[in-house]
Amino acid sequence: MKIEPFALERWMTAHELSASYDIAESGILPLSTNDLLAFEEPEERRAILEGLLESPLGYSEASGSLELRTTLAGTYRECGPENILVTTGAIEANFLLFNVLLDPGDHVVAVNPAYQQLNSVPRAVGAGVALWRIRPQSYRYDLDELERLMTPRTRLIVVNTPHNPTGAMLSEEELGRVYDLAESAGAWVLCDEAYRWLEVPGGHRFAPPAFEYGSSAISVGTVSKPFGLPGLRIGWMAAPAEVATECWSMRDYTSLSPGKLSDALAILAFKHRDRIVERNRKIISQNLEATKRFVEERSEFLSWTPPRGGLLALLRYELDVPPSSSPTGSPKNTA
């Protein structure tokens, strides 16, 4: 496979650790291992820590531990551990799925703007990619445009809800229409749900995970964004068992298995998901108010559409700023 440079990540790597102020972070404030352990009572905390310290640092179960896969499956309707493949972040889940589901000459409809991977990898596989654009006028999905973009060769529709970087969302009914369009064309729906559980106070109700709509839909998730645990590099797919198995076979050639300690800490995070979600809600509320004030104080040149879900929004400016070598794809702008 020959693939174009990941310009977005290169740009972020060049700037995100040296900037004095970073308003382009795409996830919630990260937790530490101590923060995770603090959710436990003292005696249980000591036992968990001792177990982690004594755990042999050998290979983990290649598809993710049965305990973690069972935990993840429990967050979807009619899903078992055989439907779950634990991956090295959502980025690996997407990469595997594009390579398993697509052949050269296939047609893909992919949301845009987007995390660059969602457009670049299908093109590298040899598929034609039609960009389903979320327009800056309202930052909403136009389902009629999706229908116009589809062709008899369409084999995959790629969506991301809540959307990075605009905060747009597909309602339950809208995601249902996406699924119906895909099914009628013999295509798959791949839904990047990296911002699942990150509800905006007063925002829109989340649609059910795409996996729950039927056998032609696949959900991709991660602990990076909603749990504040990007350093664990734990993601997953919820897919028909045969697709998960085929992706597992391809994954043998990439990262082989998730990290053993990461798997264990992800299980601990899901045990305390409700408390983590409550923590996130407070952070999102504070950040929304801070961003609202920031924009209002600069309203002569700044405007925005607040996110309907997730924790991202794009700021629009009216300034005479010369062009720069900005990356292709989506910036990781945050509310």
Q: What is the pLDDT of residues 186-196, one digit of tens each?
A: 999 999 999 99
Q: Considering its fold, how many domains does the chain have in total? A: 1
- pLDDT tens digits for the chain (335 residues)? 789 999 888 888 888 878 888 888 889 999 999 999 999 999 999 999 999 999 999 999 999 999 999 999 999 999 999 999 999 999 999 999 999 999 999 999 999 999 999 999 999 999 999 999 998 878 999 999 999 999 999 999 999 999 999 999 999 999 999 999 999 999 999 999 999 999 998 889 999 999 999 999 999 999 999 999 999 999 999 999 999 999 999 999 999 999 999 999 999 999 999 999 999 999 999 999 999 999 999 999 999 999 999 989 988 899 988 876 555 444 444 33
pLDDT of residue 325: 54
Q: pLDDT for 177-186, tens place per residue?
A: 999 999 999 9
Question: Which SS3 state, helix, strand or coil, does residue 190 take?
Answer: strand
Strands 217-222, 128-133: pairing kind: unpaired
pLDDT of residue 324: 64
Strands 217-222, 154-160: pairing kind: unpaired
Across the strands, what pairs with 133?
112
Strands 217-222, 188-192: pairing kind: parallel
Is the separation of the CB atoms in 74 and 222 below 8 Å?
Answer: no
Domain extent, residue 326, equals 1-335
CATH number of the structural domain spanning residue 223: 3.40.640.10
pLDDT of residue 329: 43
pLDDT of residue 328: 46
Buried b (16+ CB within 10 A) or exposed e, 127-136: bebbebebee
- Torsional sign, CA 102, 104, 107, 111: positive
